[in-house]
Structure 1
Amino acid sequence: MAAFAQFGCGGAGSNVAPADANANSAAVSEFAYITDPNAALAEGNRLLDNNQTEKAIEAYRRAVELNPDLAEAHFQLGIAYALIESEMQQSGANVEATANTGEKKAGQPKPNSQKAFEKAVEAYKKLIAANAKDDVSQFNLGRAYNKLNKDEEAEDAFKNAVKLKPEDTEYQTEYGAILVKLAKYREALGPLKKAIEIDAENSRAANLLEDAEAGAKRIDFAQKDDDKKPDSNTANANMAANSNSPVGSANSNTKTAKEEPKEKRPERPTPKPKP
């Protein structure tokens, strides 16, 4: 797989035009002809859906070059970079920083995916500042925070999305998922049950609901058992610390970008790229 210069690997593959004979001239993206940022975004989405991740990155980069405030393009760019980083790590390549873990050694630069998700957060905040009732931006802000492992911030954003549009099964599902991730099992029961009520075929919500119910029972059992012991206050504190670890399936960051729900997008006509 060709890799980008940002990853410290040589060669940019077929995603850029051949370099000029002058070594000082910059390589020109094959998407330079696109002048509409939404068209570049649409092309990036098409390429990503077709597993052409590196070309998708170039298209998304063109979109944010044309419109630095295009939040969706920053988010999708983060998804694409995360896929490349994950593949490189699995192949044993030396990626400068670990993506989607929230951990970075001192002195190491941020991975490209993290940079993109941080820019997505900034862009979504601008949209929300302009329209506090924008449920789509609230939801996508939660997803961007989740990618950065800022779970409390993600919880707040998903909660706001649910308040604005309670009948959206995906909003309820992701709100329940982040609560499970935070080991707030009993709080997660309501939104997950609501998600299934809205869509009985929502298997993700059903699986998360099982996790939440199991987690709540585990904590209840531990507390009842500790109440019978002499020094119950200390035991309860210790047990809460041990029990409040979310089950693996609740952490959406362990999933690949292809497996998770696609980002909510505002309804608008999709511009067609030039041939």
Structure 2
Amino acid sequence: MRTLPLIPCVITAIALAACGDKRAESGDANAAEVPAVSPEPSSVSTPTTPASTGPVSFQDAKSAYTGKHYDEAVRLFTAYTSQKPDNVWGYYMLGLSSWKAGDRDQAVSAFRQAIEKDSTHVKSRLNLSRVLLEQGKAQEALPEVEATLRFDSTSNEGHRLLGRVKDELGDPTGAVEAFKRAIVLDPRDAWSMNNLGRVAIGQQNFVEALGPIARAIEIDWSVAAFQN
């Protein structure tokens, strides 16, 4: 019986090993949430060859991004958005490129420009929310996530982000509800399971934490430290 007090410690050690550092948000946000963006609309003319001083095509800029030349992608998408100011995807990709290049302020600006062009652009709102969270601006991220869910209430990513925001704002009950909703929408959402477990740990509910974290590891053991 004397070993019973050790159970919370053991559970916590296992859980924290799975959770990683809750402050390290960039791994999932930058890697798992980068979508395959469609090229510019067919009505927009796209040069077939790169030009160093002439027009920049969406595909040229996107190639720099997918090739992980993020500073170059920022330069090209900056030029592209000047040439094609009505293409929301240009600003979106400028935001992603800036984020990857380490310039969060420029990423925020680009995502906001995309939203100004199209207020229903869910991907821009989602990634804007992620960058704001990285900047410690959960309160600013909240209306962006809420707007996303108004446009798409079935967005698993949206509910997961809402959970993160609620957690950062000190609302564990709201965070748990959001993470559980995200899991209902995607029963294999290991990130939300991990976060659900982490919130339980924060509430000293060690036994409750073990189930979702164990399930998260079962779904995706290859991820060494869940950081979302």
Q: Deviations over 1:155-198 (max 9, x none)?
A: 10111112232223223212212222233221111011111112
Of Structure 1 and Structure 2, the greater helix share is in 2
Equivalent positions of 1:54-65 (< 5 A) are 54-65=105-116
1:204 is displaced (CA, Å) by 2.6
Q: Contact conserved, 2:133 with 2:141, CA < 8 A, in 1?
A: no
Give the structure 2 partner of residue 121 of structure 1. 145
Kindly report the root-mean-square deviation, in angstroms, between the aligned alpha carbons of the 2 structures. 2.8
AA in 2 matched with 1:45:
L
TM-score in terms of structure 2 length? 0.54
Percent identity of paired positions between Structure 1 and Structure 2: 22
How far residue 117 of structure 1 moved from its aligned partner, in angstroms, is: 0.8
- In the alignment, residue 148 of structure 1 is paired with which amino acid? L
Aligned to 2:221: 200
Instruction: Give the Å deviation of 1:138.
Output: 2.2
Match of 2:118 in 1: 67
Structure 1's unaligned 5+ residue stretches are: 1-28, 85-99, 101-112, 206-259, 262-275
Aligned partners of 1:148 and 1:186: how far apart in 2? 24
Compared CA separation, residues 48 and 154, structure 1 to 2 (3 A) = same
Deviation by residue 1:174-227 (Cα, 9 ceiling, x = unmatched): 22122222332211110111111122233335xxxxxxxxxxxxxxxxxxxxxx
**Structure 2 alignment gaps of length 5 or more:** 1-77
| Contact 1:139 1:158 (8 Å CA) reproduced | yes
User: Which residues of 2 match residues 1-275 of structure 1 at below 5 A?
Assistant: 31=81, 33-81=84-132, 100=136, 113-129=137-153, 131=154, 134-204=155-225, 260-261=227-228
Query: How many Å separate the matches in 2 of 1:184 and 1:83?
Result: 26
Q: TM-score, normalised by structure 1?
A: 0.46
Greater gyration radius: 1
| Greater RCO, CA 8 A, separation 6+ | 2
Equivalences, count: 149
Letter of the structure 2 residue corresponding to residue 46 of structure 1:
S
Aligned counterparts of 2:133 and 2:221: Cα–Cα separation in 1? 32
